[in-house]
Amino acid sequence: MIPTFLRLPTIRPPLLALLAGSFAFASPAQAADEKNVHEKIVDTMTVLAKGPYAGYRANHAKGIVLTGTFTPSADAPSLSKAVHFAQAVPVTVRFSNPTGIPTLPDASPNASPHGIAIRFQLPEGGLTDIVSISHNGFPVATPEDFLSFLNSVAATKPDSPKPTPVEQFLATHPAAMKFVKTPKPAPVSFATLAFYGVNAFQFTNAKGESQYARYQIIPLAGMQALTDADAVKAAPNYLMDELPQRIATGPVQFRISAQLAGKDDPINDGTKVWSDSNPQIELGILSLDKMSPDSAAAEKTLAFNPLLLTDGIVPSADPVLLSRPIAYSVSVVRRLSGK
């Protein structure tokens, strides 16, 4: 039996209203051109993965689940009155590879950026999530551009004339070009990989003071990557196999911080990376000390949601952030229905 805190969360009324206002679930009989951008994104991801794969996510299909504790820092309440910034709480964490391919080799060039999803179990049964990737910045600023990006990849074939569809897209989207060209070496471990919240949230403390920030999740073991030679020799499941071995010798730990937005920093565009000189507030330590006893089953039922928030944290108006749980809901429905 899956513990209560691993089960799908009940969608609260404010989020339900957001989803209802932004997303109309299409019936199977509806024509493809009647689907909204969110469902089309899931469709194209499935095509790129040569799926569907019954029971798996349309993206980040391959993963592993751990449990542990988040202990807030003394400074965390100065940023937000969120309850998990005032007391230690249990957490469930899923590390993952991108794409919808559940057998994708962990060191594949297509396996990065990796993902981390953190579920905080709040007092009295509440939940809140963080969803981040191992790259600082997103390739596009809108769901429509993300769909165009995916479609350009799908349309590019080995014999496509130059410039190929994806080359044409990248030539007109410099952030996507930078995203593609930035080196993303295979990590030694999920425990030696940094993760970044590419979307901003507004944090409000008990005094009513608000400011925007993005999450940064930095490994206490330090960032370590495989050499190209070692990556070629890495076993297909080396990340998934290494983590249980590491946990057996001690907890895997990360420092979660909030990078504060500067006066002129854009808060609704994930392609715009803020300066490293921006101040940060340490929020606390994420300490993972156990593998989920039913990781394979748990990761198929877990549904993380970056808009599953608690008092003291609200989303920015970033269109990609607001789109993500809508696309996730399409994937969840298909996954739980075995499609």
CATH of domain 4-336: 2.40.180.10
Residue ranges of domains in the chain: 4-336
Which of these ranges, 54-63, 81-90, 173-182, has the smallest mean pLDDT? 54-63
Instruction: Express each pLDDT in 70-125 by its tens digit.
Output: 999 999 999 999 999 999 999 999 999 999 999 999 999 999 999 999 999 999 88
Distances (CA, A) of 162 to 143, 152, 153, 287: 26, 13, 14, 49
Confidence of residue 295 (pLDDT cuts 50, 70, 90): confident
What spatial distance separates the first Cα and last Cα of the chain, rounded to whole Å?
A: 23
Higher pLDDT, 297 or 146: 146
**pTM attached to this predicted model:** 0.89
Q: Assess contact for 112 and 82: CB atoms under 8 A.
A: no
The pLDDT of residue 179 is above 80:
yes
Task: Give the H/E segment covering residue 93.
Answer: strand 89-96
Q: Cβ neighbours of residue 140 under 8 Å, at least 6 residues apart?
A: 146, 148, 149, 173, 175, 176, 271, 320
For residue 266, say if its preceding peptide bond is cis, omega within 30 degrees of 0: no
Distances (CA, A) of 96 to 140, 144, 217, 239, 251: 21, 25, 15, 9, 18
Q: What 3-state DSSP class applies to 313?
A: strand
Q: What 3-state DSSP class applies to 95?
A: strand
**What residue has token string 């108006």?**
317
Res 338: pLDDT: 65
Confidence of residue 39 (pLDDT cuts 50, 70, 90): very high
Instruction: Express each pLDDT in 89-103 by its tens digit.
Output: 999 999 999 999 999
**What residue has token string 């803020």?**
274
In the DSSP assignment, the letter for residue 145 is: H
**Stretch 175-191: mean pLDDT, rounded?**
96
The pLDDT of residue 195 is above 90:
yes
Using alpha carbons, select from 146, 153, 181, 170 the residue that is nearest to residue 269. Answer: 146
The pLDDT of residue 26 is above 60:
no
Instruction: Express each pLDDT in 247-287 by its tens digit.
Output: 999 999 999 999 999 999 999 999 999 999 999 999 999 99
Integer-rounded Cα radius of gyration of the chain: 19
Q: Cβ neighbours of residue 38 under 8 Å, at least 6 residues apart?
A: 23, 143, 323, 326, 327, 330
Distances (CA, A) of 141 to 132, 144, 148, 319, 324: 16, 9, 12, 7, 12
To the nearest 10 degrees (0 to 180), the angle between helices 143-155 and 37-48 is: 30
The pLDDT of residue 185 is above 60:
yes
Instruction: Express each pLDDT in 296-324 by its tens digit.
Output: 777 777 889 999 999 999 999 999 999 98
